């Protein structure tokens, strides 16, 4: 069957119009997901940047993705003559002469796609543009980017295996994205750590989105408050406990967190435990993105407010707590002024190997 019979000629230029908007939409969406994956891997594994998902961050990532598309897609069209998404859906794109686009032609075409097709990614307006493009395609009208160069589309076939392939590859991209995220949770320095490397791990983890406690370790492993550019405190919370590094021949073999305080408000214990596990225990070479996801075990450790002794992630972890006059939850402890209060805790992590 000649599927190109579904191409209808319209307007004075007699440009061939492909009446399959959803195939074109998902083909381009698949290409965008590849660009997003490349940026995500670079952001998490190279830049070690894990920002909170705020609106301006989402918009920034979208700008990065469109910028990548603006340069990568023209290169593929000018050299390969196709993109992964178009290949999956059996789409072929040629210029008016039936040849591959030049890089300049493809660059201009891709810019017009971003401008007229995606509305530059501007919220709400981009949805309006997508809807209008869908309607125009169904009415066999030419898109602005096709009209510019009298682009010619060819549809090879409508076989169901193309949809199956699209679904499977989309799942694969999702799995790779997930494990990139898991791999990024591992500390900067791996293997046997010196004191300096361990401290660097802790401070790098503390700089990740949502994990800061307003303090960082100095070269002597003592907590120092982080100040903003204005000189104000970065975060209002209790002072972390004493951080003791256990060394053997210059290599970090364990960590102790010690509390012996009468602070009326204690808030950082959970994060301190997480720092130690992520900065030391996860630095072991046998820990990777495939076995790090023991979320239940991790939560049981950092949330535990009782005495315990167990082995996990190749480390022996013990906790001893004594507290009088405190109430609260697993993350915060409070005392009342008219009560005698004291809080003691020793949280020890020792590598087994």
From CA 39, how far away is CA 138, in angstroms rounded? 33
pLDDT of residue 2: 44
pLDDT of 94: 84
Query: Do residues 108 and 147 lie in contact, with contact meaning Cβ atoms separated by under 8 Å?
Result: no
CA distances in angstroms from 14 to 19, 146, 290, listed in the order given:
15, 12, 55
Instruction: Say how far apart CA 242 and CA 345 lie, in whole Å.
Output: 10
CB 24 within 8 A of CB 91: yes
**Strands across the sheet with 308-312, in order?**
242-248, 251-261, 342-351, 315-324, 308-312
**What does the alpha-carbon distance between residue 170 and residue 168 come to, in Å, rounded to a whole number?**
5
Q: Which residues contact 47 (CB under 8 A, 6 or more apart)?
A: none
Q: Are 189 and 179 in contact (CB under 8 A)?
A: no
Handedness of CA 28, 30, 31, 36 (dihedral sign): positive
Which residues fall within 8 angstroms of residue 316, CB to CB, at 6 or more apart?
A: 309, 310, 348, 349, 350, 352
Distance CA 85, CA 91 (A): 8
CA–CA distance, 21 with 30 (Å, rounded to integer): 14
Look up the pTM and report it.
Answer: 0.78
pLDDT attached to residue 24: 85
Structural domain boundaries of the chain? Answer: 3-183, 195-351
Count of residues for the chain? Answer: 353
Sheet arrangement for strand 333-335: 265-266, 333-335, 326-328
Expressed in angstroms, the distance from the first to the final Cα of the chain is 66
Contacts of 307 (CB under 8 A, 6+ apart): 319, 320, 321
Q: Say if CB 39 and CB 64 are below 8 A apart.
A: yes
Q: Using CA atoms, how far apart are residues 166 and 197, in angstroms rounded to an integer?
A: 43
Per residue of the chain (353 residues), give pLDDT as tens: 444 434 444 444 444 556 678 888 899 999 999 999 999 999 999 988 888 778 888 899 999 999 999 999 999 999 998 999 999 999 888 887 878 889 999 999 999 999 988 999 899 999 999 888 888 877 777 777 877 777 777 888 888 899 999 999 999 999 999 989 888 888 999 999 999 999 999 998 887 755 567 788 999 999 888 765 444 444 446 788 899 999 999 999 999 999 998 888 888 888 889 899 989 999 998 888 777 766 567 778 888 888 999 888 889 999 999 988 888 777 678 887 667 888 899 999 999 97
91 close to 153: Cβ distance less than 8 angstroms: yes
d(CA 59, CA 117) in angstroms, rounded, equals: 17
Q: How many CB atoms lie within 10 A of CB 125?
A: 12
How do 251-261 and 242-248 pair as beta strands? antiparallel
Predicted pLDDT at 296: 62
């Amino acid at each position: 069957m000649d599927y190109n019979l579904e191409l209808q000629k319209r307007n004075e230029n007699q440009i061939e119009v492909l009446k399959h908007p959803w195939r074109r939409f998902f083909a381009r969406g698949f290409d965008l997901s590849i660009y997003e994956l490349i940026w995500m891997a670079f952001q998490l594994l190279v830049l070690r940047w894990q920002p909170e998902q705020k609106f301006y961050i989402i918009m920034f990532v979208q700008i990065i993705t469109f910028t990548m598309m603006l340069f990568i897609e023209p290169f593929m069209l000018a050299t390969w003559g196709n993109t992964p998404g178009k290949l999956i859906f059996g789409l072929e794109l040629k210029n008016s002469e039936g040849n591959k686009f030049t890089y300049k032609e493809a660059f201009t075409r891709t810019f017009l796609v971003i401008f007229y097709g995606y509305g530059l990614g501007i919220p709400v307006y981009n949805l309006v543009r997508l809807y209008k493009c869908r309607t125009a395609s169904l009415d066999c009208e030419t898109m602005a980017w096709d009209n510019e160069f009298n682009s010619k589309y060819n549809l090879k076939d409508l076989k169901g295996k193309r949809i199956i392939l699209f679904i499977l590859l989309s799942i694969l991209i999702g799995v790779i994205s997930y494990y990139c995220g898991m791999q990024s949770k591992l500390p900067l320095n791996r293997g046997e750590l010196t004191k300096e490397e361990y401290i660097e791990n802790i401070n790098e983890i503390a700089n990740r989105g949502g994990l800061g406690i307003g303090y960082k370790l100095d070269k002597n492993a003592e907590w120092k408050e982080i100040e903003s550019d204005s000189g104000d405190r970065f975060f209002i919370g209790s002072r972390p406990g004493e951080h003791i590094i256990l060394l053997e021949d210059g290599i970090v073999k364990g960590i102790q967190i010690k509390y012996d305080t009468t602070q009326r408000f204690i808030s950082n214990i959970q994060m301190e435990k997480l720092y130690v596990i992520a900065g030391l225990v996860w630095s072991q070479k046998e820990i990777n993105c495939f076995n790090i996801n023991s979320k239940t075990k991790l939560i049981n450790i950092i949330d535990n407010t009782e005495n315990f002794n167990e082995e996990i992630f190749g480390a022996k972890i013990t906790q001893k707590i004594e507290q009088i006059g405190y109430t609260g939850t697993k993350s915060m402890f409070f005392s009342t002024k008219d009560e005698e209060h004291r809080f003691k805790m020793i949280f020890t992590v020792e590598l087994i190997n």
